[in-house]
């Protein structure tokens, strides 16, 4: 990858981190005391959705932070599964990608050992 491509990907990651951090700062709303069971059930469902979104946001931030660390290393852009180049277009679209398109597809199809990948 060229320096300009690395700079562009770094900028994309930083913008993504900033956006995700802003979204997480909105927080999770507290459950209010509702005399109506229907209102409480609705609040409970919304609260569960908010918690799930927060968790997903935190996981995404961790992925972006890890990608920023890898970006400064020589092996950034190399598939962690097969060792081939991931491809600049894929990295621009998803800078935290750790797998090439072929290996990502194989993992999603259950053809790669996910336990080994997550270790």
Quick: pLDDT tens for 70-106.
988 888 999 999 999 999 999 999 999 999 999 999 9
What pTM was estimated for this model as a whole?
0.68
Between the alpha carbon of residue 89 and those of residues 1, 21, 29, 47, 117, the distances in Å are 11, 25, 38, 37, 23
Query: How far is the first Cα of the chain from the last one, in angstroms, to the nearest whole number?
Result: 27
CATH value of 3-118 in 1.10.1060.10, 1.20.120.910, 1.10.3720.10, 1.10.340.30: 1.20.120.910
Q: Could you read off the pLDDT of 49-74 as tens digits, one per residue?
A: 878 888 888 899 999 999 999 988 88
Residue 85: per-residue pLDDT: 93
Please give the structure tokens belonging to residue 77. 């852009």
The residue extents of the domains of the chain are: 3-118
């Amino acid at each position: 990858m060229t320096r300009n491509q690395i700079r562009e990907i770094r900028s994309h990651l930083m913008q993504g981190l900033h956006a995700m951090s802003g979204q997480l700062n909105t927080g999770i709303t507290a459950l209010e005391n509702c005399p109506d069971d229907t209102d409480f059930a609705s609040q409970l469902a919304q609260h569960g959705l908010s918690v799930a979104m927060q968790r997903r946001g935190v996981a995404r931030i961790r992925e972006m932070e890890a990608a920023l660390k890898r970006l400064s290393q020589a092996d950034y852009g190399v598939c962690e599964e097969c060792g081939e180049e991931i491809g600049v277009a894929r990295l621009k679209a998803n800078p935290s990608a750790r797998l090439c398109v072929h290996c990502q597809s194989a993992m999603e199809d259950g053809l790669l050992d996910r336990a080994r990948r997550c270790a």
